């Protein structure tokens, strides 16, 4: 049932613990995916005694703590990682009180030549202790009933090891496991242990004052490969599931004698390797590789403590890899999709976390590329379902594309050489001869060069390039199983789609990686990046990758989202050139030259260490990061620590409530270990406090604490006046220097119509709407800046601020954004343009809720009767602006009219821009999608996205970026 390849285990067993060879984890920053959920199989799941926390461990080298029953992710645990398998997690355990998380797998071999278990503090994410000296991969972990002890079982006969949790002292171990893998371990109380092993035996232990004693070792009746064994809650019996059998056995816990076999009639495929009892012992559950007729993996439940008539439930599409009981009679499960969730006592799936990325299984002939390999067709679902197309140069994804003929796309070539048994096989052949791949390495996909001079082979472990006679030209490790490969029309570029959701491009002659692309499963966000960290992204997409930085063997790693290094690494111009130049350095040089941009002196890694933001840690809130504060308390003392991650000192701390700044100065602690406090003003409702630390280059990730206010709003709160709305709208149709910028048609009218739509909300959601509308000659740089000062001066913490800009925009050589007022002059950009810095300074300082609408990618023409005006040059890039304003440090909700290289279109018959037309319709009531009488941010987003596509016949795709800590809220009432 475990997903560790046996060939890996054999190699691991060769390593002996040799302290003299101990080293430290690599310190160079490593780019990794972070999509909010695991991106590889989840091999283990655990839960605390109260059923309030769940812990998952994955081969993606992270463990994650989740809140139950909401499923909200609370924290990511990041042990040190290395190349290849180092850092992959196959086992986890959560202490009964939820305070400790133990994780392990292929952990520590790269530097210690032996494995270890990592113990984390769930409240802070700190790595508290390593338990080293294990001679093989750790397969399973379990805490004793009161959390006093931790047990681990290992692969390749290295058996069982038990530690005292508080001290890390080893209590005992048993390595007499016949050189076979031990798969599972379970406790009853703090003194009884049972383990499984693929030598066919169960082993029963007793923990005494003098150490660990084996009480019994007997074959498990029902199969030869027992996977899991679980004590019944009363400790009277043990249930056992098998990898090689559809049977389940229930044994006597005293002597492992056979008692009975639950009814497995109808289980005619796979196996039921995972077993679990409900907390009251009245129901037994089993699942694993058994698939129902629907194709889903099934879970069988037997009432009457396993003797009753079974019930079957569909759980997940992939193999179930672990089961744990919940206090309410439900079951936690995890699977290889990756997925995890909760099945209620009634068999209803009440919580389900799925893979956050595209699923490339079955794509072997679906991964198609344009002649230059800069356009790729793929599917979000297995076998190419959910088709989409990504253009590197157009910088966007097209969902369900219809213009196939306009850009010919080429499938992988499967003829020209006699390659056989290459699909889902451990024995691929060329001309009937086995190819030189590793034992147990499964081949998944093939692409043959157009001239027959060689071919690509994708396997579970590697992407391999072979010459026509079978000599291996190069091999690169695969980040996950390789499900599809292809070659460019000229055979100069190799491409592969991997199980982690990425599509990657390589030089076909050397195997050097050039580019990676990750589409999120929400079909909106994406990011593309080079190995050096230069990236392009959709709005909100840059959070999908970041830098993992090891801090030594005994410390948790840091992780910094790519957004923290936006100034240096956000380079869509480099990404657009890298496939053409086939060299990242050459692409960087060409992009810098084209933009007149001076290349930075420091190398990327040096720049990273200089720019790394601080790390903030809160000293309260526990694993759930929440605390209850009575309504009578108006201020809360927040304790925190701040640590440098790079070389720059911390210069400022900021405090936010529900994503908006408060006028309280938070002191900077004296050093990395010192605590500091700040008195935070609290509203009389539940809220989220955030602390941000910044250095000269970057702002930290927010440290968050949820404040629960028991009893609901205070009586006085119900009498508070409705909020006011302050609105600044600027629209420019006629430009003073129209030899530089094309005049538009309806931008000024858009500003007027937008403002009126909100003004009609006065007396409804808002007690008053005050608007400042600047049109054409009124919308000078000076007047717009005055307008920004006005809205900043008027808005209080209980108000809503709305800013709308419609007109042209431009970027400088650093891709910094400028909105173009009526009197804009390119030669005087700094004085005549509205810079991003001016917008950002206003947005970040507004204490109330902030919505920013921007429509500045105009084409200068309109659909319908109007004719094209002269070109204004390359479309403006607003992605950087959007992502920065929506960051936690600025906290704005940003609506933008278009994405990528799209232009914003105007509608001749409607006399509005398509974007504004959709917004006004939405605010008037059409965005009341749930028929509640209210238009919220989320419902307006959904309506505008579909309506603009409809109005522009799919040529324009608006988008919205939102801070994670700002909840959805109503912005209008249906009139």
Average pLDDT on 407-433 reads 93
Which pLDDT score, from 0 to 100, does residue 8 have?
39
* Model pLDDT for residues 24-73, shown as the tens digit of each residue: 999 999 999 999 999 999 999 999 999 999 999 999 999 999 999 999 99
Token representation of residue 644: 């440098």
797-847 pLDDT tens trace: 889 999 999 999 888 877 788 999 999 998 898 899 999 999 999 999 999
Which residues are 53's β-sheet partners? 67
pLDDT in tens, 230-266: 999 999 999 999 999 999 999 999 999 999 999 999 9
Q: Give pLDDT tens digits for 606-616.
A: 677 778 999 99
Q: Cα-Cα-Cα-Cα dihedral of 947, 949, 950, 951, to 10°?
A: 90
Cis peptide before 122 (omega within 30 of 0): no
Question: Using CA atoms, how far apart are residues 910 and 908, in angstroms rounded to an integer?
Answer: 6
Taking the C-alpha atoms of residue 540 and residue 181, their distance in angstroms, rounded to an integer, is: 44
Rounded Cα distance, 953 and 957, in Å: 10
Mean pLDDT in residue range 726-747 = 90
Residue 22 is predicted with a pLDDT of 61
pLDDT band at 388 (very low <50, low <70, confident <90, very high): very high
Note the pLDDT tens digit of each residue in 291-343: 999 889 999 999 999 999 999 999 998 899 999 999 999 999 999 989 999 99
Mean pLDDT across 865-871:
35
Q: What pLDDT is stored for residue 407 in this prediction?
A: 79
Residue 746 has pLDDT above 70, yes or no: yes
Residue 713: predicted pLDDT = 56
| pLDDT at position 452 over 70 | yes
The token pair at 65 is 């703590």
State the average pLDDT for the chain.
90
Q: pLDDT band for position 364 (50/70/90)?
A: confident
pLDDT given at position 631:
87
Segment 869-881 mean pLDDT: 63
Average pLDDT over residues 641-653: 91
The mean per-residue pLDDT over the stretch 895-915 comes to 86
Structure tokens at 565: 């290094």
DSSP 271: -
Residue 735 has pLDDT above 80, yes or no: yes
The pLDDT score that the predictor gives to residue 672 is 85
Confidence tier at 19 by pLDDT (50, 70, 90)? very low
- The most distant pair of C-alpha atoms in the chain lies apart, rounded to whole Å, by 93
How far, CA to CA in Å, does 302 sit from each of 114, 237, 246, 306, 346? 41, 15, 15, 5, 12
pLDDT of residue 601: 61
Over residues 725-734, mean pLDDT: 96
Residue 785 clears pLDDT 80, i.e. is over it: yes
Question: Comparing 4 with 390, which gets the higher pLDDT?
Answer: 390
Mean pLDDT across 130-150: 96
């Amino acid at each position: 049932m475990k997903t560790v390849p046996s060939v890996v285990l054999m190699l691991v067993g060769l390593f002996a613990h040799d302290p003299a060879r101990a080293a430290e984890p690599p310190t160079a920053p490593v780019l990794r995916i972070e999509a909010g959920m695991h991106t590889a199989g989840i091999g283990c799941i655990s839960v605390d005694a109260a059923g309030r926390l769940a812990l998952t461990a994955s081969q993606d080298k992270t463990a994650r703590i989740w809140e139950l029953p909401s499923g909200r992710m609370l924290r990511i645990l990041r042990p040190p990682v290395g190349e290849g398998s180092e850092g992959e997690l196959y086992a986890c355990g959560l202490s009964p009180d939820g305070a400790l998380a133990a994780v392990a797998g292929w952990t520590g071999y790269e530097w210690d030549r032996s494995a270890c278990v990592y113990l984390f503090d769930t409240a802070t994410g700190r790595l508290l202790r390593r338990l080293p000296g294990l001679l093989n991969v750790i397969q399973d972990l379990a805490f004793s009933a009161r959390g006093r002890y931790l047990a681990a079982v290992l692969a390749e006969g290295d058996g069982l090891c038990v530690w005292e949790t508080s001290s890390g002292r080893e209590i005992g171990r048993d390595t007499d496991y016949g050189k076979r893998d031990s798969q599972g371990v379970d406790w009853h109380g703090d003194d009884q242990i049972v383990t499984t092993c693929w030598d066919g035996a169960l082993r029963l232990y007793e923990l005494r004052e003098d150490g660990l004693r084996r009480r019994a070792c007997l074959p498990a009746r029902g199969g030869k490969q027992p996977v899991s064994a679980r004590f019944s809650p009363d400790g009277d019996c043990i249930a056992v599931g098998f990898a090689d059998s559809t049977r389940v056995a229930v044994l006597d816990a005293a002597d492992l004698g056979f008692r009975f076999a639950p009814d497995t009639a109808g289980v005619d495929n796979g196996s039921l390797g995972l077993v679990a009892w409900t907390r009251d012992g009245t129901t037994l559950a089993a699942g694993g590789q058994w698939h129902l007729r629907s194709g889903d993996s099934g879970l069988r439940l037997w009432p009457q403590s396993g003797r009753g008539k079974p019930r079957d439930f569909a759980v997940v599409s992939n193999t179930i890899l672990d089961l744990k009981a919940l206090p309410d009679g439900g079951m936690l499960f995890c699977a290889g999709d990756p997925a995890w969730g909760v099945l209620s006592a009634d068999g209803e799936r009440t919580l389900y976390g799925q893979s956050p990325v595209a699923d490339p299984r079955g794509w072997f002939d679906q991964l198609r590329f344009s002649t230059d390999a800069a356009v790729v067709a793929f599917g979000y679902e297995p076998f190419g379902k959910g088709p989409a197309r990504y253009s590197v140069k157009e910088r966007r994804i097209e969902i369900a594309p219809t213009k196939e003929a306009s850009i010919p796309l080429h499938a992988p070539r499967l003829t020209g050489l006699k390659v056989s048994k290459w699909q889902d096989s451990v024995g691929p052949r060329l001309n009937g001869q086995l190819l030189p791949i590793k034992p147990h390495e499964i081949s998944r996909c093939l692409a043959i060069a157009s001239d027959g001079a060689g071919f690509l082979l994708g396997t579970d472990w590697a992407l391999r390039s072979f010459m026509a006679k079978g000599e291996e030209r190069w091999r690169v490790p695969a980040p996950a199983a390789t499900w599809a490969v292809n070659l460019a029309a000229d055979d100069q570029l190799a491409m592969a789609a991997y199980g982690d959701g990425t599509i990657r491009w390589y030089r076909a002659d050397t195997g050097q990686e050039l580019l990676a692309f990750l589409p999120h499963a929400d079909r909106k966000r994406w990011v593309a990046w080079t190995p050096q960290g230069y990236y392009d992204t959709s709005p909100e997409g840059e959070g999908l990758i970041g830098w993992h930085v090891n801090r030594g063997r005994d410390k948790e790693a840091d992780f910094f989202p790519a957004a923290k290094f936006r100034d240096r690494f956000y380079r869509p111009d480099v990404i657009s050139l890298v496939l053409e130049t086939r060299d990242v350095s050459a692409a960087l040089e060409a992009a810098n030259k084209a933009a007149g941009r001076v290349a930075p002196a420091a190398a990327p890694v040096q720049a990273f260490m200089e720019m790394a933001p601080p790390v903030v840690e809160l000293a309260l809130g526990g694993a759930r990061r929440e605390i209850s504060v009575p309504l009578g308390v108006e201020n809360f003392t927040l304790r925190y620590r701040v640590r440098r991650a790079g070389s720059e000192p911390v210069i400022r701390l900021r405090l936010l409530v529900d994503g908006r700044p408060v006028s309280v100065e938070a002191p900077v602690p004296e050093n990395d270990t010192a605590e500091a406090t700040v008195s935070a003003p609290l509203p009389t409702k539940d809220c989220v406090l955030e602390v941000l630390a910044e250095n000269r280059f970057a702002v930290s990730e927010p440290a968050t604490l949820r404040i629960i206010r028991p009893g609901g709003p205070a009586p006085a709160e119900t009498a508070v006046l409705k909020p006011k709305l302050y609105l600044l709208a600027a629209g420019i149709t006629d430009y003073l220097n129209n030899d530089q910028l094309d005049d538009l048609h309806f931008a000024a009218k858009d500003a007027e119509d937008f403002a009126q739509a909100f003004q009609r909300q006065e007396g409804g959601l808002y007690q008053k709407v005050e608007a400042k509308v600047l049109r054409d000659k009124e919308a000078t740089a000076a007047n717009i800046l005055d307008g920004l000062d006005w809205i900043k001066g008027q808005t209080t913490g209980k108000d809503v601020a709305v800013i709308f800009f419609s007109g042209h925009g431009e970027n400088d050589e650093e891709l910094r954004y400028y909105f173009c007022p009526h009197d804009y002059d390119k030669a005087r950009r700094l004085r005549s343009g509205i810079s991003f810095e001016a917008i950002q300074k206003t947005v970040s300082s507004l204490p109330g809720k902030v919505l920013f609408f921007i429509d500045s990618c105009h084409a200068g023409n309109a659909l319908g009767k109007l004719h094209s005006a002269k070109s204004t040059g390359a479309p403006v890039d607003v992605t950087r602006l959007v992502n920065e304003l929506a960051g936690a440090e600025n906290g704005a909700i940003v609506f933008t009219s278009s994405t990528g290289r799209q232009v914003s279109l105007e509608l001749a018959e409607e006399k509005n821009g398509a974007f504004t037309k959709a917004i006004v319709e939405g605010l008037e009531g059409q965005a009341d999608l749930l028929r509640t009488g209210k238009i919220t941010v989320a419902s307006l987003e959904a309506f505008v996205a579909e309506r603009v596509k409809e109005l522009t016949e799919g040529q324009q795709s608006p988008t919205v970026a939102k801070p994670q800590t700002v909840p959805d809220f109503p912005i209008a009432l249906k009139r």
